[in-house]
Structure 1
Amino acid sequence: MKKLYFLLLSLLCFTGVAMAQTGSITGRIIGSDTQEPLIGASVLVEKTTKGATTDANGGFTITGVPAGTYNLRITYIGYSETRVSVTVTDGGTASLGAVSMRSSALMGDEIVVSATRRPEKLTEAPAAISVISSRDLTELPSFNIGEMLNKVQGVEVVRSGVIGVGINARGFNNAFNVKMYQMTDGRNSMLPGGTGLPAGFYNTTIKEDIERVEVILGPSSALYGPNAHNGIINTITKDPRQSEGTTIVLGAGNQDVLSTRFRHAMVLSPKFAFKVTGEYTQGKDFEFQDTVYNAALGALPEYDVDYKFQSKRFGSALYYTLNENIDIIADYGFGQGSNIGVTSNGRNQINDWTFQYLQGRIVTPRIFGQVYATWNDAGDTYQINARTNNYYALLAAGATQEQAHKYSKTGAKPGEIFAGSPAVAFPGFIDLSHRLNGEIQYNNNFAGFDVIAGLSYQRDVAYSRQTYLDDKAGNIILNQIGGVVQVERKLTDKLKALVAGRVDNHDNYGTQFSPKAALTYNALGGTFRATFGQAYSAPSIQFQEFYANTGALAILGNGAGLTIENTETGAIRTIDRLKVEKVQTYEVGYKGTPIKNLYFDISSWYSESKDFISPLTAITPLFGKERVIKKGDVDVSESAATAWNYYLTYLNYGKVNSWGTDLGLNYYIDDNYSIGVKYSYFNSDITDKENLDNDANGDKKVSDAESSLNAAKHRVNFNLTARNLANNRLFMSLNLRYLPEFDFYSGLQIAAEKGAGSRVPGSNYNYGPLGGFTSVDLSGGYKFTDWVTLGASVSNLFDDEQREYVGSPVIGRLYSVELRFDFGGKKENK
């Protein structure tokens, strides 16, 4: 008994000594600009695994810290990294009081999360990454967020009208571009089901609710899964607990543009906070009447085109703080738009296309989990070219103008219009597709290794009822499941290594592996990096299952392979089914401030693409005797063939190599003025017409369409920004963008120097190459009071003729004026 008593006493003494050898650190983090608490700031005790995240009052407590002197590394999105020295004594509590963090003014000081899915300084991220901040967006007096991406290094932004914006990087653009993966708050924000396209004009997020936009260039599948093979655009919205108050914006511009937007955020209690957002925007696009090719009737002007556009958006989110380490977030978004959409098969009249999502998230320091559903409804959308063909064919068959107007849009059965009247195909789309996603992610530090592991699931259900997909047998359902592991470790004080690998399983394309590796080295006021990444793009459901027959041509998806018969000779040839497109990219770069006030960012890269997916490509001659008789093993000769049909589909190239450099310089003259210059170069061996690897359709020659970069080789952007003038009330910006001429081929759409002013049989009219202009844009604003700001902007100041996209109008001068009201939002510091 005495021995047991002595043992217990010894254990207690040992425990007491052990406890006495550790202490605690407490403090509160606030923003120096607002003097408000910064919620969710990360506080790390360097050279240990100890850390904490600040609570709703900006406070934090770190316990169990061994006695000694340390540096605390404090990071927060939009603020410069802060380091504080602290000494911990045995059994004591080191209280720091209020620590101020400075709002980031110098590019490179900002904290980003998209490169490695954890907070890190922009210059230390192992990727080509850029940021558009909330301040950048606030100082843009326009509803069109896409305009800001023109200023992002390496990003190719093309405008197809007043509101149409196409986003691409590193070339090979087309009218159905899915190469840039888009996310919002960790959620896949691409359209679900058949198209898989960016939500674009139908997205649910308003400009005033965006905290920042992070853009990564290069393969990102290792972290983000399928189709993140050219880069990602990650939009991060504002947390209502950090951005209380009400914002109302009234805007107007030429082209009859009117825009009204609002945002309201409120903290209801220490547990609950919420936000609601809304927008209504309308206007009229520049008028442009494209032509439609009909094999029997020739060139036809588009019929009954409506140039008006409008968008409606609504969003809401509820934030629940279960405890200081667990947040539960539920949010819903609704977006609806009407406009003209450009496709590789002509143009679509989009009427009330609706996009919605419902998302639930749980966020802890170690675990992130989410489940969300996304769905859309095509509304009263139809193909303008199909309706045009219907209209003129009905007139030629003897219908009156009133009959042709009505039935060209609704379709008709044989004899429905008048005795002996022909059947008329319905030109509209039905799209009630939806998608379900789930994800779980875990992060921790083990013996100096920062580890992230995660699982994800995606289920797409495409529903078109044969209006544009071959879904006669019912909904098309595709499942994808993936797992990822990323490990990062500091090898020395300056050298860091990262490796990551992801495995995905796709119902149609089996197992795919996406690795990534990076080395970063801190020197010269920044970070040098060398990276390797491999990614893949699974053909979208549309590429696999597209099914359209206009009576002049047929577009067939190539998910199962096609068999073609020559009706004159009986010869049979086959087209291989689509395979996934794979790309591996080697990249070197540097980001940092080698000279005081100069931010320097350069990336040079080389990519190898295997089974490159082509734009929509003709596989039979226009007036030939060939017809498609099988899709996979299914006979489609009766349903697909007509006397005038020729066939288009999507194909794989053998191999395409590309390379380029993106260079950015930002010089901060002082706290008020900065100058930025960005330059991008892009090239590829796809232009080599002697390389039959680039013969997509197997006709033993490389055509102009098969050898086009679909991008300019050079792009230049210059920006001058002035902020905090006139007692911090005035801001201004001048932007110059130079876009050289370039050819563009995408299905029926051609914009090229060769054949300009004419039509290749079966294609739309060729107005000549795109680009070839310098655009001068001005914007500015004045803050009359803390709650009233007036802003104005003008793009294409000198009203030059600007054509940036196929099937689109010449874009002239655009100007807008916005009045912004900001009410409330200040918290009482205690």
Structure 2
Amino acid sequence: MKLIIMIALLFALSTESFAGSISGTIKDSETNEALSGAIIRIKNTSIGMKADNKGNFLLENLSNGIYTIRITYIGYTASEHIITISDKQPDQSMVVNLLPKSLNASEIVVSAGKRSQSIQEVPVSISLLDQQQITQRNTTRIDEVLRYVPGVNVARDQVSIRGSSGFALGVGSRVALLLDGFPMLSADNGDMKFDALPMMEINRVEVIKGAGSALYGTGALGGTVSLFTRTPSDTARTIIRTYAGIYTQPIYEQWRVYDSPPALYGIDIGYSKKFDNLELTMNVGNKYDKSYRLSDNSYRWSGYGKVGYQFDKQGMSKVTFFINAASEERGDWVFWNSLDSATRPPTGTNLNRRTESGKIASALEFKHFFSDQSFLMIRSGLFITNYKNTNLLPGEEQIASDALSWNSEIQYSASISPEVFLTSGINTVMNSVQAPIYGEKTQIFMSGYSQAEIKPGIENLICTIGARIDAEKTADAEQNIEISPKLACSYLSPFGIQFRASAGRGFRAAAVAERFAALRFQGITIEPNMNVKPEYSWSYECGATTAIPLSGEQDILLIDVSYFQNELSDLIEPSFTPSGNIKFQNVTKARVTGLELGLRSMLTGGYGFETSLTLMKPEDLILKQTLYYRSSVLWYTRMSIPIIEDLLLQTDYRFISRTEMMDPRLTALGFIKDADARVPNHICDMRLIARLHNWVHIPMSVTLNAKNIFDYYYTEIMGNLAPIRQLSVQAEYIF
């Protein structure tokens, strides 16, 4: 009997100690709408959860004590609240109204340190794009999104951050590309496959400027582009997005290759929902583009699926699997016949020759939070690419490749003391390529990295120090060992100005195609070079950011300024041999110095304005001249003007100064006629967005798009007329 009484007493005491709870509702402070999926965590513990589809949450079985509740939601300012649980008040409730962010001054970013952190803590230049900016521009590929990022220049399939890249024949990206943290550079060419990305599900784009190899290894010589997909909510979401349009006829009669304006159209259908602990996302898409150039039309289809499973209600342990597949069949366009025939391929070209390509990316990730200050991540996946030519004439050489990149990573991040946060990991990559022009080749990377973020005792000062070591071995080539250190700091001054400074090393190992390619096509003969070494850079930057309040309560002007200097060595460039052939070689040492200024504002009533100016001095230190294929000025401007309620006019203007230097040996060969034809780029895009929700009570928006509205003719790379004026209408229906 005494034993029973003692057990009952202990049970009563235990239930009394853990009988407290905190409940509440998370809402938008302006619209009063529930914020489904908002994250609620008790700081310095492993306790947390997501708000349900009505914005409600309940944290149970809490002992007496004082708790700090932190609430976050993408696109809103984080909120913290101190709650006390006691015998007298065991159950506490709260209503939290989160404030939407009109600017990204305190946005949460992930890619800078491979963990979630405030952008104010990041010691490097970073640009953010949200899902709304992507959707409104009617973009179907990521390169169309990146064209308006400050300091970024896209030349067809090459992304250059602050002058890091020039003309590279479509191989060897100097910018790393990641999808939800998974690398997306091909195993053979080491390039970006823009059509292999699920654009409909991209929720956020983060662009880091400057060498990023200390965390991301090869390819991050000039910077990093990270894409993050949408997380489903408890409410089912079906979206249908479709568009149709035309290229207008060129004003020059000799450029017209069709009797009527060539058409383009596409459709994407997606569905997402969270079922208790299970998250499901899937979509399919199909696109057609007849093109403004002869024998350059394309057909594309894509499919994407993502499944996530949370092992607990708090979301502390989660496994995620995604698969993305894309296929394209297009004309085998390389360069024009001449400037007078800029929309036709060279005379004698096989107009029936086609290129078929396929891409499959798939990855599995497990992530466990031990607390809000420590987590373990294990990820492994494949990126498979293939392409081949079809409809070949007798004597034409087959260009084909089957490539597989297998990537695995283990990362552990934790706060090892109140002053130090440590991120460490190991990474292995195996690239396997099978191609008729060079047989079967394998490239292997073994890597380890560690980065510490330190608060040295000075208020609002954060110092970052880290390094990564990569061992790279490619078949029939020597092994390379690369060490990429990084040192940076960020300081938020009492005056509200955030200062930053950084120095880091980046590198890029030669792609398999750069080492082994041996082919001749349309007058170009490429020789293999097994002795090509990795290229590397040292990036230095100092900058400052501040937000200045304007007249209205929510009116803010965000100002960012930075000075940068990139020292580039052993650059791998297509260069000419004494026989007149092309070979990828380590040809030069270069320096790019520059100044970047950005202004952003969002005013009361929906008016918005942003502009960025990047001034660069690209120098070839060997030849003592301007670096080939670079521009010295990038100026991007965007305006948003509400006409009436739910009707918005937006305009983008892009200026890129004339490419100052071309390789004269290439133009002298004459196989690309008028190769040096180039002008400054003046491109203006406009769109009219109508939200029909309040007009006809349909959850639909319609956008009228005009890209290159003034039909300005220019080139991005030699021998290629850039896209002419395109008019289209886009409709998006969400239910």
- Structure 1 length normalisation: TM-score? 0.74
Please give the alpha-carbon distance, in whole angstroms, between the structure 2 residues aligned to 1:320 and 1:368: 15
Alpha-carbon contact 1:29-1:41 (below 8 Å) kept = no
The answer for the alignment partner of 1:199 in structure 2 is 193
- Structure 2 SS opposite 1:808: coil
The answer for the alignment partner of 2:590 in structure 1 is 656
The answer for the alignment partner of 1:564 in structure 2 is none
Alpha-carbon contact 2:296-2:333 (below 8 Å) kept = no
The answer for the alignment partner of 1:445 in structure 2 is 415
Alpha-carbon contact 1:319-1:330 (below 8 Å) kept = yes
Shift of 1:250: 1.8
Percent of matched pairs sharing the same residue:
19
The answer for the alignment partner of 1:518 in structure 2 is 488
1:455-494 CA distance string (max 9 Å, x none) = 111111001122xxx22xxx21111121111111223331
Return the match for 2:273 from 266, 270, 285.
266
- Structure 1 SS opposite 2:120: helix
Return the match for 1:585 from 539, 542, 547.
539
Return the match for 2:33 from 28, 32, 35.
35
Return the match for 2:150 from 150, 153, 156.
153
The answer for the alignment partner of 1:605 in structure 2 is 564
AA matched with 1:675: F
Please give the alpha-carbon distance, in whole angstroms, between the structure 1 residues aligned to 2:28 and 2:727: 35
Cα separation, partners in 2 of 1:661 and 1:440, compared to 1, 3 Å:
same
Q: Tell me if 1:279 matches 2:213.
A: no
Please give the alpha-carbon distance, in whole angstroms, between the structure 1 residues aligned to 2:632 and 2:499: 25
1:233-274 CA distance string (max 9 Å, x none) = 11111112367311111211113011111111123x312231
Please give the alpha-carbon distance, in whole angstroms, between the structure 2 residues aligned to 1:146 and 1:711: 18
Please give the alpha-carbon distance, in whole angstroms, between the structure 2 residues aligned to 1:242 and 1:80: 22
Shift of 1:108: 1.7
Alpha-carbon contact 2:713-2:724 (below 8 Å) kept = yes
Q: Tell me if 1:713 matches 2:713.
A: no
Please give the alpha-carbon distance, in whole angstroms, between the structure 1 residues aligned to 2:71 and 2:51: 16
Cα separation, partners in 2 of 1:506 and 1:157, compared to 1, 3 Å:
same
The answer for the alignment partner of 1:669 in structure 2 is 603
Alpha-carbon contact 1:744-1:806 (below 8 Å) kept = no
1:165-208 CA distance string (max 9 Å, x none) = 642212231132501111111111122x22121011x31413x3
Alpha-carbon contact 2:637-2:652 (below 8 Å) kept = yes
Shift of 1:528: 0.8
Shift of 1:453: 1.4
Alpha-carbon contact 2:575-2:587 (below 8 Å) kept = no
Cα separation, partners in 2 of 1:520 and 1:535, compared to 1, 3 Å:
same
Shift of 1:114: 1.0
Cα separation, partners in 2 of 1:452 and 1:810, compared to 1, 3 Å:
closer
**Structure 1, unaligned runs of 5 or more:** 1-8, 288-304, 382-405, 412-423, 560-576, 623-646, 691-703, 751-758, 824-830
Alpha-carbon contact 2:590-2:621 (below 8 Å) kept = no
Alpha-carbon contact 2:559-2:598 (below 8 Å) kept = yes
Alpha-carbon contact 1:22-1:67 (below 8 Å) kept = no
The answer for the alignment partner of 1:502 in structure 2 is 468
AA matched with 1:430: A
- Structure 2 SS opposite 1:215: strand
Cα separation, partners in 2 of 1:688 and 1:376, compared to 1, 3 Å:
closer
The answer for the alignment partner of 1:230 in structure 2 is 222
Please give the alpha-carbon distance, in whole angstroms, between the structure 1 residues aligned to 2:590 and 2:58: 52
The answer for the alignment partner of 1:214 in structure 2 is 206
Moved more, 20-29 or 326-335: 20-29
The answer for the alignment partner of 1:312 in structure 2 is 301
Cα separation, partners in 2 of 1:689 and 1:476, compared to 1, 3 Å:
closer
Q: Tell me if 1:76 matches 2:73.
A: yes
Return the match for 2:649 from 732, 735, 738.
732
Please give the alpha-carbon distance, in whole angstroms, between the structure 2 residues aligned to 1:648 and 1:74: 57
Please give the alpha-carbon distance, in whole angstroms, between the structure 2 residues aligned to 1:591 and 1:539: 36
Please give the alpha-carbon distance, in whole angstroms, between the structure 2 residues aligned to 1:135 and 1:770: 33
Alpha-carbon contact 1:743-1:770 (below 8 Å) kept = no
Moved more, 59-68 or 354-363: 59-68
Please give the alpha-carbon distance, in whole angstroms, between the structure 2 residues aligned to 1:92 and 1:181: 53
Please give the alpha-carbon distance, in whole angstroms, between the structure 1 residues aligned to 2:635 and 2:307: 43
AA matched with 1:713: S
Please give the alpha-carbon distance, in whole angstroms, between the structure 2 residues aligned to 1:815 and 1:522: 45
Cα separation, partners in 2 of 1:91 and 1:437, compared to 1, 3 Å:
farther
Shift of 1:379: 3.8
Shift of 1:345: 13
The answer for the alignment partner of 2:342 in structure 1 is none
Return the match for 1:742 from 653, 659, 674.
659
Please give the alpha-carbon distance, in whole angstroms, between the structure 1 residues aligned to 2:312 and 2:19: 25
- Structure 2 SS opposite 1:222: helix
Please give the alpha-carbon distance, in whole angstroms, between the structure 1 residues aligned to 2:632 and 2:231: 40
Moved more, 89-98 or 803-812: 89-98
1:756-798 CA distance string (max 9 Å, x none) = xxx5125411243434142221112111125111111112222
Name the structure with the higher strand share: 2
Q: Tell me if 1:173 matches 2:166.
A: yes
Please give the alpha-carbon distance, in whole angstroms, between the structure 2 residues aligned to 1:517 and 1:112: 19
The answer for the alignment partner of 2:359 in structure 1 is 355
Cα separation, partners in 2 of 1:93 and 1:168, compared to 1, 3 Å:
farther
Please give the alpha-carbon distance, in whole angstroms, between the structure 2 residues aligned to 1:507 and 1:485: 22
- Structure 2 length normalisation: TM-score? 0.83
Cα separation, partners in 2 of 1:248 and 1:367, compared to 1, 3 Å:
same
The answer for the alignment partner of 2:327 in structure 1 is 336
1:377-400 CA distance string (max 9 Å, x none) = 21436xxxxxxxxxxxxxxxxxxx
Q: Tell me if 1:792 matches 2:711.
A: no
The answer for the alignment partner of 1:815 in structure 2 is 727
AA matched with 2:473: D
Alpha-carbon contact 1:204-1:314 (below 8 Å) kept = no
The answer for the alignment partner of 1:483 in structure 2 is 448
Cα separation, partners in 2 of 1:127 and 1:620, compared to 1, 3 Å:
same
Alpha-carbon contact 1:263-1:278 (below 8 Å) kept = yes
1:397-435 CA distance string (max 9 Å, x none) = xxxxxxxxx7xx254xxxxxxxxxxxx3x4222212111
**Structure 2, unaligned runs of 5 or more:** 1-5, 247-261, 338-344, 370-374, 551-555
Shift of 1:352: 2.5
The answer for the alignment partner of 2:505 in structure 1 is 534
What is the correspondence of 1:393-432 to structure 2 with a 5 Å cutoff? 409-411=392-394, 424=395, 426-432=396-402
Cα separation, partners in 2 of 1:173 and 1:23, compared to 1, 3 Å:
farther
Q: Tell me if 1:619 matches 2:538.
A: no
The answer for the alignment partner of 2:434 in structure 1 is 463
RMSD: 3.2
Alpha-carbon contact 2:379-2:410 (below 8 Å) kept = yes
AA matched with 2:629: N
- Structure 2 SS opposite 1:227: coil
Cα separation, partners in 2 of 1:71 and 1:737, compared to 1, 3 Å:
same
Shift of 1:338: 2.8
Q: Tell me if 1:775 matches 2:683.
A: yes
- Structure 2 SS opposite 1:181: strand
1:708-753 CA distance string (max 9 Å, x none) = 3412101112211135x644x22221112222211464798x5xxx
1:523-560 CA distance string (max 9 Å, x none) = 2334210111111110111111111145966422222x
Alpha-carbon contact 2:336-2:720 (below 8 Å) kept = no
Shift of 1:89: 5.2
Alpha-carbon contact 1:20-1:91 (below 8 Å) kept = no
Alpha-carbon contact 1:342-1:808 (below 8 Å) kept = no
Return the match for 2:96 from 91, 99, 113.
99
Please give the alpha-carbon distance, in whole angstroms, between the structure 2 residues aligned to 1:510 and 1:90: 65
Please give the alpha-carbon distance, in whole angstroms, between the structure 2 residues aligned to 1:435 and 1:664: 37
Shift of 1:24: 7.5
Alpha-carbon contact 1:342-1:807 (below 8 Å) kept = no
Please give the alpha-carbon distance, in whole angstroms, between the structure 1 residues aligned to 2:522 and 2:602: 60
Alpha-carbon contact 1:27-1:61 (below 8 Å) kept = no
Shift of 1:589: 1.0
